[in-house]
Amino acid sequence: MSKVTIDFSGAFTQIAGATGLLLKEVKAIETKAWRAHETIASLPQMSQDGFFGLPKRNDLFESCKKLTRKLKGAYENVVVLGIGGSALGFKAVADALLGKDHNLNPKGKPKYFVLDYLEPESIAKIFEFAPPKKSVYVAISKSGKTQETAAHLAYLGSKLEREIGKQGLKERLVIITELEAENPFQQMAEKMRLRCLEIPQLVGGRYSVLSPVGIFPLSLLGVDAYSLLRGANKFNKLTQSYELEANPALYYALLHYIYAQKGHNVTVFFLYDRNMEALGDWLVQLWAESLGKRFNRRGDLVEVGLAPICAIGPRDQHSILQLLIEGPFDKVITMIWPTKFKQDPRIVLPMWQKKGFKYLSKKSFGQIMASEAQGTYQALTKSGKPVIKVNLDCIDAEGIGYMLQFFMCATAYLAELWDINAFDQPGVQLGKEISRRLLGG
Mean pLDDT for each consecutive 10-residue tract of the chain (441 residues)?
Answer: 90 96 94 92 91 97 97 93 96 97 91 95 91 95 94 92 92 95 92 95 96 98 97 95 90 98 97 97 98 96 97 96 97 95 86 83 90 96 98 94 98 97 88 83 75
- DSSP letters, 13-67, are HHHHGGGSBPHHHHHHTHHHHHHHHHHHHTSGGGSTTSGGGGGG-HHHHHHHHHH
pLDDT given for residue 421 in this prediction: 96
Instruction: Enumerate the β-bridge partners of residue 174.
Output: 138, 195
3-state secondary structure 312-370: ECCHHHHCCHHHHHHCCCCEEEEEEEECCCCCCCECCCCHHHCCCCHHHCCCEHHHHHH
pTM for this structure? 0.95
Residues identified as active-site:
289, 318, 432
pLDDT given for residue 136 in this prediction: 96
pLDDT given for residue 336 in this prediction: 97
Nearest to residue 316, comparing CAs of 324, 306, 308?
324
Nearest to residue 289, comparing CAs of 93, 420, 151?
420
pLDDT given for residue 1 in this prediction: 64
Hey, where are the domains in the chain?
4-42+229-422, 49-223
Q: Where are the beta strands (DSSP E) in 178-250?
A: 195-198
pLDDT given for residue 74 in this prediction: 86
Q: What distance in Å separates the CA atoms of residue 199 and residue 213, rounded to the nearest whole number?
A: 7
Helix (H) / strand (E) element for 387: namely strand 387-392
Q: What distance in Å separates the CA atoms of residue 263 and residue 321, rounded to the nearest whole number?
A: 20
Q: Where are the beta strands (DSSP E) in 106-235?
A: 111-115, 135-140, 173-177, 195-198
Q: Do domains 4-42+229-422 and 49-223 have the same CATH topology?
A: yes
pLDDT given for residue 438 in this prediction: 86
CB 359 within 8 A of CB 300: no
Options 3.40.50.80, 3.90.1150.10, 3.40.50.10490, 3.40.50.300; CATH for 49-223 is 3.40.50.10490
Contacts of 210 (CB under 8 A, 6+ apart): 51, 54, 55, 89, 228, 229, 232, 401, 404, 405
- Quickly name the fold that domain 4-42+229-422 has: Rossmann fold (3.40.50)
